[in-house]
Amino acid sequence: MSFSASVYQNEFLPDGATEVNAVVTVTGEDAEAGPSGAGAEKAVVLIVDTSGSMEVPGTKIRAARRAAATAIRLLPDGTLFALVAGTEHGRLAYPPDGGLVAADGHTRSEGAQAAEHLRAGGGTAMSTWLDRTTELLTPHPEAIRLAYLLTDGLNQGETRDDLDGGIARADGVFQCDTRGVGADWDVAELRHIASGLLGEVDIIKQPDEMDDDFQAFLERALGKSVADVRLRMWTPKGSTVRFVRQVAPTVEDISAKAVPVNALTNDYPTGAWSGDESRDYHVCVDVLPAGVGDERLAARISLMVGDDAVSQGLVRAVWTDDEALSTRINAQVAHYTGQAELAQAIQEGLQARKDGDIDTATVKLGRAVQLATQSGNEGTVKLLRKVVEVEDADTGTVRVRREVDALDEMELDTRSTRTVRVKKGDPPAPSPAAQAKNPQEEGSKS
């Protein structure tokens, strides 16, 4: 598995300016077998909510049983796994005597049966589910450790501090995707868990969609081939990192995850990578101003696997008095600034709608429609149209619908952070736009 990093930026700053923006595209490539992710050992824990509400209606627990059982039957030989049933305790449903087991014909069949016998009843305290998973996965630091948490409700049985404790103990042990089924769970709560544990939140609108989602998770998990990849960022003395943000495939501010390496260098964990994965990061650094004609390195970004830097990108700052150079905005930076604003506008607009502030909701969601349309984020436009009536997408003129299906609203919220890459050309054109267009001074070395 190899990595490459490319930096997109306008390095030219006007005299006196200090803010440097750049988009770094990191691409992993598996020279071997493509997305199979062979090699690294995988450890997978399925966490299924078995609180009483999963019985109401009973289709939820039945679908969860079936989906978990199917997923277990599909595990390849040798994959370490366990099944956790979540109530006010995190109960180990399989294997019966603690610790993960390796999948084989026997354990798959036992594990699937255990899943089919899951019974709903009890409360909800998610930190105990996370703690049980942490306990199971801690003894396997060499494996790629992933969990999948499915719930249908609120974390009612404990305080937010309890939950945060569980997230903190799991941090660095495993990554966790979270899924809410139905409309009675809280998007912000599950997003909080997923963000804390380098995972993603999503909605399962109908119980019968669970099967596919479990299997999609497994496919992603088994495709991972490198664990614990970190973005290491050096910035010069006297500078300030304004933010480090993953911007593709989803927007996720990772600034707060910085782990200091030395006075000028921080590591940002990015979790496990598969062999055909590409992510974009937007970094923004304030540097000390220098004179016209001076060049400074504003950031050195290395991708770390273990103690090895596997790829590197340089973010530069060159001060110029040529306005034609310094006023250009790099297309990638502009695009992802818009995508981040889009996610924020949706979340704020939906919150305003919940609070009954229709004026604010109209402005924010209108802006969201405009941004999503301009950037070609059609998935998000489609979801927005279920919540607002669009009069003019170009100007962002919308009316908030009076009646909105709660599921549609939650779907829009959970998927608000999904971004698109810089717009592709239309089919007739030779679609070169997949490449960044980077107005440049000295081009051929990048």
Partner 1 sequence: MSATYPCETCGSDSATSDYCDVCGAAMIDPAAAAAAAALAAADATPVPPSAGSAPSTGAPAAAPTDTCYFCGAPRAANDVFCEVCGLDFVSGQMPFKPDPTPVPPPPPPPPGGGSAPAPAPAPAGAPAAAGTTVMPVAPSGWTAVVGADRAFFDGNVTAGVVTFPDPLTPRDIPLAGDEVSVGRRSESKGYFPDIDLSSPVDDPAVSRRHAVLQRQADGSWAVIDLGSTNGTWLNAEDDPLAHGVVRALHDGDRILLGAFTCITIRHDAPPPAPAPTPTP
Per CB under 8 A, residues contacting partner 1 are 234-239, 264, 287-288, 290, 294-298, 300, 314, 317, 328-329, 331-332, 334-335, 422-426, 428-433, 435-446
**Whose Cβ is closer to partner 1: residue 359's or residue 442's?**
442
Closest approach of Cβ 155 to partner 1, in Å? Answer: 42
Q: Which letter does DSSP use for residue 434 in this model? A: G
Closest approach of Cβ 341 to partner 1, in Å? Answer: 16
Q: Which letter does DSSP use for residue 163 in this model? A: H
Closest approach of Cβ 287 to partner 1, in Å? Answer: 7
Q: Exposed (0-12), middle (13-18) or buried (19+): which is 363, by Cβ within 10 Å? A: middle
**Whose Cβ is closer to partner 1: residue 64's or residue 285's?**
285
Closest approach of Cβ 299 to partner 1, in Å? Answer: 8
**Whose Cβ is closer to partner 1: residue 91's or residue 423's?**
423
Give the three-state DSSP class for 431. coil
- CB 248 within 8 Å of CB 419: yes
**Whose Cβ is closer to partner 1: residue 35's or residue 236's?**
236
**Whose Cβ is closer to partner 1: residue 38's or residue 297's?**
297
**Whose Cβ is closer to partner 1: residue 280's or residue 348's?**
280
Closest approach of Cβ 101 to partner 1, in Å? Answer: 45
Closest approach of Cβ 332 to partner 1, in Å? Answer: 8
**CA–CA dist 16, 18 (Å, integer):** 7
- CB 316 within 8 Å of CB 235: no
**CA–CA dist 84, 133 (Å, integer):** 7
Closest approach of Cβ 383 to partner 1, in Å? Answer: 24
Which residues have CB under 8 Å from 173's CB, separation 6+?
Answer: 134, 137, 138, 145
**Whose Cβ is closer to partner 1: residue 38's or residue 290's?**
290
Closest approach of Cβ 430 to partner 1, in Å? Answer: 5
Q: What is the CA radius of gyration of the chain?
A: 23
- Relative orientation angle of helices 187-196 and 406-414, to the nearest 10 degrees: 20
- CB 4 within 8 Å of CB 27: yes
| Tokens coding 61 | 């627990």
**Whose Cβ is closer to partner 1: residue 9's or residue 79's?**
9
Question: Distance of CA 371 to CAs 99, 216, 367, 378, 391, Å?
Answer: 48, 29, 6, 11, 15
Question: Distance of CA 243 to CAs 82, 233, 246, 256, 283, Å?
Answer: 37, 12, 10, 9, 6
